[in-house]
Amino acid sequence: MSKHQKPIQIASRTSRLALIQVEEVMQNLPQVNYTIIKTDSMGDKDKQRSLLSGVPSDFFTREIDHLLLSGEADIAVHSAKDLPYPLPEGLMVAALLPALDQSDALVTASGLPPEKLPAGSRIGTSSPLRKREMEAYYPHLKIVSVRGTIEERIAQADNGFMDGVIVATCALIRLQLEHRIACVLPFKTNPLQGHLAVVTLSNRSDMVALFSLFDCRQNWGKVTIAGFGPGNPELLTVKAEKALQQADILFYDDLLDAGYLEKYRDEKVYVGKRSSNHAFSQDEINEKLRLAAISGKNVIRIKGGDPLIFGRGIEEYHYLKSNLVDTSLIPGISSGQAAAAESVIPLTARGVSSSVAFLSGHDLDKLVIPDADTLVFYMASANQQHLALKLISAGRNNLTPVAVIQNASYPNQVVRRYTLDSLSKATEVLESPIILIVGWTAARNNDQMPQKWLYTGTNPAHCHEDGLVVHAPLIQISGLNPSEQEKQIINEMSKFNRIIFTSRYSVEHFFKWLFGQGLDVRAIAQLSIDAIGATTSEALKNKGLNVAPLSEDESSDGMIQYYRNNGISGEKILLPRSDKGLPILPEGLKKLGNTVTILTVYSNRKPTNIVVQNLTDFFGVVFSSPSTVSNFYDVYSHFPTHLQYRFRGHNTQKRFNELNHKE
C-alpha cells in the first residue's frame, strides 16, 4: 500500500502514555504518514477534582471530540475505557485494538504487596470501581483519591504522600515501568481496560476502512435481546423466531413454556430470577452475555414479554453497547397486552380511555399513580387488596372495574372481575403470574359503566358532574397580538377607573399583553377590579389579586344587576374579552352611564380536529359557554332528547334555548 499523500491528523492528549498509544496504533499501518494534534483534555487541566466523586463521562475526551467534529482531526486514539457512552452524535469507534493486559497492578514505594502493608496504609486510585474492590479485598488499607499522569502518581508514592498507587498494568508495560509492580491485583477490571480505541466521524468511510483492518471486534459475535411474548409460543414474533434459529447460544429466564426452546439446538443457559431465587445477579448476566459475544458467538437473550417493559432489557443493552458489543433489540408482545386481548379489554377506547400506563405493583410504597385512564399492573400478585385500597385513597372511584388475569394467553387462563371496592375486601385472590387491569374499559358490560358526561369546554377540571367525564372541547382559545392603538391603551391604564374580567382567558391573555409592554400587576393596582364567576376569580388570585366574584353564576346579567344595585355609573371601564364576546355586558354597562373600552385579547374558534362522539353512549353534556353550544349544534345538528344538559352561565343556557327552539 503506498504512503498517503496527505498525513492523517490524529488528535491525542499530551501525556507520554497517550502519545505512546498513538504510536502503538500506527505501528499497524507503517505505510501511512500521520501528524499528532496534541491537546489537553478537561481532565488533564483540572487535576484537583477527585474522580471518586464523579465527573462528566467525557472528562478526558471532550476537547478531542471537538477536534474530530470540527474536521481538524481525522481520528483520535483513546484508552477505550475512557470513552464516554454514548459517544457524541456523529462519532463512531472505527477500530478496537486487542487488549494488551486487562489487570490492575499495585505500585508501592516499599515494593511490598497489599497484604504485607501496615494497617492504614494510604493507597491512591482514581477509579470508584478500584476503590470498591480494594476495600473488599484489603479492608486494612485506606483508599484515597489520586490524580495526574502515571508518572506523577508513582512519584506521589515515592515521595511519601501515599504508600502506593493502583495503575493499569497495560499502562506500566507501555511506559516500560513494569519493574515497579509490587503485585498484580486479583479483582476484575473495566471490560475495556487494556484496549485502545480509534474514533472517527461516522461518515468517514475512508478512516473506517483503513483502521477496521485490525479491529478485534471482527472476531466478536453479536447479541440480540428479544421478547418471547407472554409465554404462549404462538405469540412469538417472526423476527424473534429467526433470531432464535440463527443463535449459537441462548440465555433465557422464566418463560412459562421453556420447553418450547428444546427445538433449538444451540447452547442454552438459564439465568432466571424468581422472587428471591436468582440463578445469577444482573451484573453476572450482563458479563456472561458480553463474554459469549466476544468469544465469537451469536448470542440471543430471550426475555418474557417485551424486553423493555419491566424486563431490565435496557440495562443489558446499555451495558453491552457501552462495551462496544454489537447489540440489537427485538420487541415482544407484553403479557399486559396479551391479558387485555384474551380477556377482551381495550386498553384505550374512544370516549372511555384515552391513556394507558404500565406499572409495577411490587413495591406499593414507591408506587406513584399516574393520571391515566387505564392502569395495567405487573408483579402485583402479593399486593392485590392493598393496591385496590391505595387506588381508592388516591381518588379512584371505588366502583372502578378491575380484571385480574392469571396465565395470560394460555389454555388455563383465568379471568376474575372485581371493582376496586370488592377486590380490596377479597379473601381469596389468584396467585402469580397475574396481570391486573384497572379502569372503566375493564367493565364486563355497560351496566358497570358510570354515567358518561361530555365536557365541551377547554378544562375538564371545571366539570364536577358525577361519573365518567369525556373531554371533547368544542372551542379553541388562541391569544391575539395587540395593535399599536391597543398597546397605547395598555400603557395608559391610569385613564380607567375599573376593569372587568369575564373569564380566566381574559385574565391570562390580558396579562400577557401587560407583561409584553414591560408592565406588571401594579399597573392596575389603583383600579377597581371585578370578576365574573369563581374560575375568573381564581385566575386573578394566581396573578396575586384577591378579587371576589361578583356574579357567582358567571353571567353578564348578574354583573349588570350588581352594578345597577350599587349605583356604579359614570366610570371608565376596560373590558378585556374574546372576539366572540356577546354585546349584553358592554351595552348594559353603557346604559348605566358608564364608558366601556373593549380589548379583544383572545380569539374563540371552533376546533378543526373535533372528535365526533357516539352520543347514544352518553348520559349528559356540559356546556361551558355559548360558543360551545353553537359549535355542538354545528357538529351534531340537534340536541338529543335522551341527554341531560348542564350549563355554565345564564347566557350559555339562553343560547341553548334559542337553538333548541329552532328544531
Question: Annotated catalytic sites, by residue?
Answer: 253, 273
Helix axis angle, 484-491 to 504-516, nearest 10°: 90
Helix (H) or strand (E) holding 360: strand 356-360
Which SS3 state, helix, strand or coil, does residue 602 take? Answer: strand
Cis peptide before 86 (omega within 30 of 0): yes
**Which DSSP letter does residue 29 get?**
-
Residue 444 cell numbers, joined: 364486563
Cα-based distances in Å from 35 to 10, 12, 73, 661: 6, 10, 9, 88
Q: What are phi and psi of 350, to 5 degrees?
A: -55, 130
Q: How many angstroms separate the most distant Cα atoms in the chain?
A: 103
Edge-to-edge strand ranges of the sheet holding 8-12: 34-38, 8-12, 75-79, 196-201, 91-96
By the 8 A CB rule, do 302 and 244 touch? yes
Burial 509-529 (b: 16+ CB within 10 A, else e): bbbebbeeeeeeeebbeebee
Neighbour tally for 571: CB within 10 Å: 17
> How many angstroms separate the CA atoms of 522 and 516, rounded?
14
Give the CB-side neighbour count of residue 622, counting CA atoms within 13 A. Answer: 24
CA angle 246–249–253, rounded 5-degree value:
110
Q: Which of 246, 629, 291, 235 is nearest to 456 (CA)?
A: 629
Give one DSSP letter per residue of 279-322, joined into a string.
SS-HHHHHHHHHHHHHTT--EEEEEEB-TTSSS-HHHHHHHHHH
